[in-house]
Amino acid sequence: MIGDPITFLIWSLYLIPAAVIAIPAHELGHALGAYLLGDRSVRYWGYLKPQLRRYIDPYGVVAVFLANVGWGRPAPIQDSKIGYNGGRRALYRLAGPLANLVLALLFGVTLRVLVLAGIRPAPVSAQPLMLVAFVVFAIYFLNLAIFAFQLLPIPGLDGWEILAALLRRRSPGFFMRAEMNRQTIWIICLAAVFFGPLLLHFSVLGAVVGVFFEPASLVILGQCVSYVSLQPCPV
């Protein structure tokens, strides 16, 4: 999403520690949610431990570097243990994004403290503390981006699963058709993401992710940061 190749490369280096934290945190959030809702198997099989290899999905990692969003490999859960109540299913799905939001809050507050101490984040600097501050920013940014991305109502993402858990009984046909056409929906979404900037001259992904990302950034950092440019939001 960052056009300059050199800037893209530098930003990608900072995304490595961010991805190592944000992606497992999301899936650990789901696993912990399942455990608290009654599925003890996630602990038995070791899914409550922060083991990177369990949660990393290659495609999700590629998405981190290409689009500043991502996903991991979810822990297997026993639906019968969680139950089929819509509210409980929605809580399980919400646990992953909430884990990212909590981390975004923690690293965002840390970033604000560093800035107040005169340590501003910079991707290239002779001062190590400014580099550390930028690592903190990258971790904050990716956690908030995954939180916002996963809340989108697209089949396969948590936002869709939350809606399905709450509304499937009212409109079973609609959700069934959407699930059957998931691949087509994703092809259309990917086409909009990649061709939107060329045809519409703005980032479609940035617009939809920004619905959740930008207000959250305003609350956490005290100023709105654009998901697309990583700069203050345009007035």
Query: Could you read off the pLDDT tens digit of each residue along the chain, which spans 235 residues?
Result: 556 788 889 999 999 999 999 999 999 999 999 999 999 999 888 888 877 888 999 999 999 999 999 999 998 988 888 877 888 999 999 999 999 999 999 999 999 999 999 999 999 888 999 999 999 999 999 999 999 999 999 999 999 999 999 998 888 899 999 999 999 999 999 988 888 777 777 788 888 999 999 999 999 998 888 888 777 777 5
Which of 14, 230, 231, 228 has its CA nearest to residue 133? 14
Q: pTM for this one? A: 0.93
Give the active site residue among 27, 161, 179, 214. Answer: 27
Q: Is 27 a known active-site residue? A: yes
Do 106 and 90 contact (CB within 8 A), yes or no? no
SS3 72: strand
Q: Where are the beta strands (DSSP E) in the chain?
A: none
Neighbours of 147 (CB within 10 A): 27
